[in-house]
Amino acid sequence: MQPAHGAQQVNPDTHLVLRFDQPPVLGTSGLIRIYDAASGRLVDALDLSIPAGPTERTKLPAAPYLSTPYVYADGPRATNANTKAGTPSAGAEPGDAGKYQLTIIGGFTDGFHFHPVIVRDKTATIYPHNNLLEYGKRYRVQIDDAVFGHAVKAWEFSTRPGGPAADAQRVVVSADGTGDFNTVQGALDYVPDHPVRRVTIFVRNGDYEEIVYFRNKSNITLQGEQRDKVRIHYANNEVFNPHPPNISTNEVAGTFPSRRAAFAADNVKAVHLRDLTLETTLAGQAEGLLITGAENIVANTTVIGSGDALQVNGSTYLPGVKVVGHGDTILGRGPAFFERCDIQSRHAFMWIRNPATNHGNVFVDCRFTAIGGQTELARLPANKGKNYPYAEAVLINATLSGISPAGWGQIDGDTANVRFWEYNSRNADGTPVDVSQRHPASRQLTMEKDAQTIRNYSNPAWVLGDWARH
């Protein structure tokens, strides 16, 4: 087991890992309890009779967006230790209070559904509610026989006396417990929201099965050890963690935050994500990464999701990113500058919704590969009666494989200000793409007529702002 019986110097964000001789069968009843070993106080309890979360989409009428921007308050962060999970924010109605497992992540009091125990082969990982274990404590774990169908002996462990220095500029996450934190979320909860000097959270190679959600932070770098060996993932989507029954999410700037992504950086500024793999393992509306804010960088990172695999809202620079999804694979309101990226999709690559006040998606030296038959680069249908007349997707020196002759899908409404533009699109073998049947609302740029436009769109600072100058 991890932590072992009698272990000391354990990080408070630890999971509890049990290894069996045979694959364990997880029961549908029984409690997992964690006690303060010194006082006998019950610190946490996981009830296996409560389902993790919904498995079918709720059939609710369309809900409105917030009429005023969602408030991200500075100050002490709400946690499971001081707030009841499911406490609604911004007027949200709890849709299933007490019906499913619920935990607060990253200060989002409305809470997230989660799996209290995840079984993989012969290993069972127990997920205590976030932020209930503390530094400098000794804990005893007791598991009812019904949880695994047989007795599991109680055990104890002690946590470290304290965490890293409050002004530390570098902390380490390691899934095996040898770093400052066991989980990515634990490190993000610990570091200051707005450090004066940039703080780097270094994530060692490992498998991190956790929902990551953080909000209202700035000047933080999440640096993976090796891109393909740091996997942060969870089975999350709009069904498992839906929007409140009375408020919609995602579309309007400042609206109620979404909880459906495996990894979400919400209302952040100057946050850098580097050398990571971020993945949701459920289908549907399910982001591997949802990032909202300004002046953010996602570099040398792989994002795997389903519909809306990558959602980008707010100025973001994305060099060397790989995105894999099922359709509308890149969603958002921009501006986003993609450079030397590899984008794979089963259906339309993007549904861009930027307003007139900022650019949309710009791709320079990127590769687009259809992975299930021909598809389109982007589509622009009316959405619940609303359209996006300033949508912008510009491709400079793209390599295209499996793109339909029309290139662009359904475009509804007035197309006068839609910018679905290409310059120098090539096939995988380097030959020019036949653009003779391109959608009439799209446009082919040429160096003879559009040299300055091509230079502008090739410049991250022109698309995103001076912060992206390099």
pLDDT tens, N- to C-terminus, the chain (470 residues): 899 999 999 999 999 999 999 999 999 999 999 999 999 999 999 999 999 999 998 877 889 999 999 999 888 899 999 999 999 999 999 877 679 999 999 999 999 999 999 999 999 999 999 999 999 999 999 999 999 999 999 999 999 999 999 999 999 999 999 999 999 999 999 999 999 999 999 999 999 999 999 999 999 999 999 999 999 999 999 999 999 999 999 888 899 999 999 999 999 999 999 999 999 999 999 999 999 999 999 999 999 999 999 999 999 999 999 999 999 999 999 999 999 999 999 999 999 999 999 999 999 999 999 998 999 999 999 887 888 999 999 999 999 999 999 999 999 999 999 999 999 999 999 999 999 999 999 999 999 999 999 999 999 999 999 999 86
Residue with tokens 């087991």: 1
Q: For the chain, how are helix, strand and coil distributed in percent, rounded to 5?
A: 5, 35, 55
Q: Residue 460 and residue 470: Cα distance in Å, rounded? A: 8
Coil, strand, or helix at residue 374?
A: coil
* Residue 410 near residue 388 (C-beta atoms within 8 A): no
Coil, strand, or helix at residue 175?
A: coil
Please report which helix (H) or strand (E) contains residue 274, including its range: strand 272-274
* Residue 334 CB partners (closer than 8 Å, separation 6+): 312, 313, 352, 354, 358, 359, 360, 361, 392
Q: Residue 428 and residue 247: Cα distance in Å, rounded? A: 44
**pLDDT value, residue 97:** 66
Give the tokens for residue 407. 């290139």
Q: Residue 241 and residue 249: Cα distance in Å, rounded? A: 12
Residue 120 bridge partners (DSSP): 123
* Residue 287 near residue 262 (C-beta atoms within 8 A): yes
- The stretches of 274-381 forming alpha helices (DSSP H) are none
Please state, in angstroms and as integers, the Cα–Cα distance from residue 345 to each residue in 12, 228, 328, following that order: 39, 20, 8
DSSP state of 347: S
* Residue 151 CB partners (closer than 8 Å, separation 6+): 145
Indicate the residue type of 383.
N
- The stretches of 73-217 forming alpha helices (DSSP H) are 145-148, 184-190
In 10 A of CB 81, how many CB atoms? 14
Q: Residue 432 and residue 300: Cα distance in Å, rounded? A: 28
Calculate the CA dihedral of residues 273, 103, 132, 70 and round it to 10 degrees.
60
Instruction: Compute the Cα dihedral for 248, 254, 256, 261 and give only its sign.
Output: positive
Q: Residue 445 and residue 431: Cα distance in Å, rounded? A: 17
Q: Residue 114 and residue 257: Cα distance in Å, rounded? A: 17
* Residue 205 CB partners (closer than 8 Å, separation 6+): 224, 225, 226, 229, 230
**pLDDT value, residue 226:** 98
Q: Residue 191 and residue 229: Cα distance in Å, rounded? A: 24
